[in-house]
């Protein structure tokens, strides 16, 4: 069964927190699909992932890349997984109808956006009814992740 992790952003923005999470995925030798809300957000996030690190970048592919199978990270606004990733990261309120194809699904929710938080609570209830293994993570005062009961 898919494990669903909710990451509640309260101290850092998505742009600040996502690169750290992606580095963890890469350090574990895993691949991840990052789903954003729409095509405009896709372009902005792709640029961000190329420049977000002082000592490098986060290698990723997007639609129309010639060899997605070589990319450890795939950025999309669709429900696709051309890299065979085991991890799905949903951002900006994006949802997926293909969650069962992944071992881990991470929902990144903006704690400053009441609509996102409300929608995430509804999805939590739905996922619980479907029997997903759920965990909730919230940022500490320093911005690190703490697992909550």
In sign, the C-alpha dihedral spanning 41, 7, 114, 88 is positive
**Class of residue 90 by CB neighbours under 10 A (exposed 0-12, middle 13-18, buried 19+):** buried
What are the structural domains of the chain? 3-148 (3.40.50.10110)
User: Which stretches of 36-139 are assigned E, i.e. beta strand?
Assistant: 73-76, 87-90, 104-110, 133-139
Tens of pLDDT, residue by residue over 87-130, are 999 999 999 999 999 999 999 999 999 999 999 999 999 999 99
What's the pTM value of the predicted model, to 2 decimals?
0.92
Tens of pLDDT, residue by residue over 4-54, are 999 999 999 999 999 999 999 999 999 999 999 999 999 999 988 888 876
């Amino acid at each position: 069964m898919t494990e669903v992790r909710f990451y509640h952003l309260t101290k850092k923005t998505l742009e600040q927190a996502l690169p750290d999470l992606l580095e963890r995925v890469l350090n574990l030798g895993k691949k991840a699909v990052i789903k954003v809300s729409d095509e405009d957000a896709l372009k902005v996030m792709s640029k961000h992932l190329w420049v977000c690190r002082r000592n490098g970048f986060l290698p990723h592919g997007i639609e129309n890349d010639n060899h997605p199978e070589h990319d450890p990270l795939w950025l999309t606004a669709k429900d696709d997984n051309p890299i065979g990733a085991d991890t799905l990261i949903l951002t900006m309120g994006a949802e997926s109808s293909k969650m069962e194809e992944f071992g881990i699904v991470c929902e990144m929710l903006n704690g400053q956006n009441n609509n996102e938080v409300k929608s995430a609570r509804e999805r939590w209830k739905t996922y619980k009814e479907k029997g997903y293994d759920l965990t909730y993570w919230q940022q500490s005062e320093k911005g690190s992740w703490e697992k909550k009961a």
